[in-house]
Every structure is written in C-alpha cells, then in structure tokens.
Amino acid sequence: MLSTLKSRSGSIGVVAVVPPDVRGFAFGSFQIKFRLQSQTLNPYFVAYFLNSPLGKAQIEKQKTGSIQMNITIDGIKALKIPIILNELQNKIIQEADALRSRVNNMRIKAEQIVIAAKSEVEQIILNKIEEG
C-alpha cells in the first residue's frame, strides 16, 4: 500500500506519495504520514489534487496556529477529494506526469543555456582584458 506524506508545518500542504518499495524511511515531525482508506482513489491523483490550487485552497482553510501555522490530522480528514472514475484519475496522472517531465527537461535546457551564456561572457571579458 502506498503511503502519502503531507507537510504539517513550514511549507504546509505539500503532498508526496511514498512508493511501496521504499522501506524503512523516516520522516520528520513536520510531516504527517497517512494512507487512503478509499480503494477508489489513486494516491498519485490525491497528491496532484492536494498540490493543485483547489487542494491548496482547502488546506489554507484548515491551517491553525498564529506564528507557525500547522495542519492537524482532523484538518486533513476535513479535506474534500473528488471521487472520479479510475480511468479519469489515471489520465490526469499521466498528463500531469508528462507535463512535469516536460517542465523538468525545459529547466535543464534553461540551466545549460545560462551556463553557456556565462561562459561566453567570461570569454568576451577575458579577450577584452588581453586586448587592453
């Protein structure tokens, strides 16, 4: 069974799925580990939903505290997750995974462009110094 982690303080509401092949992991006191009781909900769909603006809006309403905000187990239980067909959940997961992959590839390319640009600027500066 997949476990899901939710940060309960600090970056409140960030959700991640811990795959079943990860054994013996430890998590900090600022996280809450929970398992879904519903067999109809895919944990990856739940994570994407709770990390979405709709999920985050609900999490905002459940925050407690004054200086360091937290979310409680009761606050997590109060969150409303849409129950949709498994096929649609899987399609959402596939499309979200594909988008994340594209974004990650674009980030890597952007970092490479920045490194190349810095190198070019450094070379231009060095050439000017040598000429001068």
Q: What is the pLDDT of residues 80-129, one digit of tens each?
A: 999 999 999 999 999 999 999 999 999 999 999 999 999 999 999 998 88
Sorted by where each begins, the domain ranges of the chain are 1-83, 84-132
Specify the DSSP element, H or E, that contains 6: strand 3-7
Q: Is 10 helix (H, G, I), strand (E, B) or coil?
A: coil
CATH architecture, range 1-83: Alpha-Beta Complex (3.90)
Encode pLDDT of 36-86 as tens digits: 888 889 999 999 999 999 999 998 888 887 777 788 888 888 999 999 999
d(CA 12, CA 31): 9
Contact between residue 43 and residue 17 where contact means Cβ atoms under 8 Å apart = yes
Burial class (CB in 10 A: 0-12, 13-18, 19+), 75: buried
What one-letter code names the amino acid at 7?
S
Q: pTM of whole model > 0.75?
A: no
